[in-house]
Amino acid sequence: MDYAIHLYVPKTGQLTPSMIEWLYQHGNDPDAPEMYYPVRKVDPRTLARVIWQFDKTLDPRAGAVEGDVELVYPVDAINLRLYCHSRGCIVLFPYMGGALARITLGIAYTYIRFLYEGGGFWSFDPQLNVISYADDFHSLDEAAALMDELLPKLLNE
């Protein structure tokens, strides 16, 4: 099971809960008109290239959907991936606890901050139901605490 943080560029300059709700209801609908989308369309390959220029240690791979790109962090124990798609990027990593969780979250938030500053990407953490415009260190602490709390439950399943 992965922890996921979604990154989008809102058309209005800020991301709101109603925009996230619309994306969850209609984001995968091919018939939804572009004018209704609250976030900008991006070229996944261009986005992946920009991120890769920032960190050339990332290993680019083809995504699950044609045209999508997945960038894999080079440390297997961390298993962090950046999945670039037509509406943004998803930062994915496994649930973990302790110091490794904080290290992984710190790495993830480095990419999040880079994309916010360079491209106006806002983040949405569905596990915490938090929208942020950059590196919200309070959210980082909450995410680490959530993983510490949930990890034993996930291991017992």
What's the maximum distance between 2 C-alpha atoms anywhere in the chain?
A: 45
Q: Is the pLDDT confidence value at 143 over 60? A: yes
Q: Is the pLDDT confidence value at 90 over 90? A: yes
Is the Cβ–Cβ distance between 100 and 109 less than 8 Å?
A: no
The mean pLDDT value for 32-48 works out to: 95
| Residue closest to 146 by CA, chosen among 132, 131, 119, 126 | 126
Is the Cβ–Cβ distance between 122 and 19 less than 8 Å?
A: no
Please give the DSSP secondary-structure letter assigned to residue 111: H
Mean of the per-residue pLDDT values for the chain?
Answer: 87
What's residue 142's pLDDT? 65
The mean pLDDT value for 100-106 works out to: 85
What's residue 100's pLDDT? 82
| Residue closest to 90 by CA, chosen among 139, 129, 124 | 124
What's residue 132's pLDDT? 80
The mean pLDDT value for 124-153 works out to: 67
Domain 2-156, classified CATH 3.30.1330, yes or no: no
| Residue 127, both tokens | 């596990």
Query: Where does the pLDDT of residue 73 fall: very low under 50, low under 70, confident under 90, or very high at 90 and above?
Result: very high
Q: Is the pLDDT confidence value at 58 over 90? A: yes
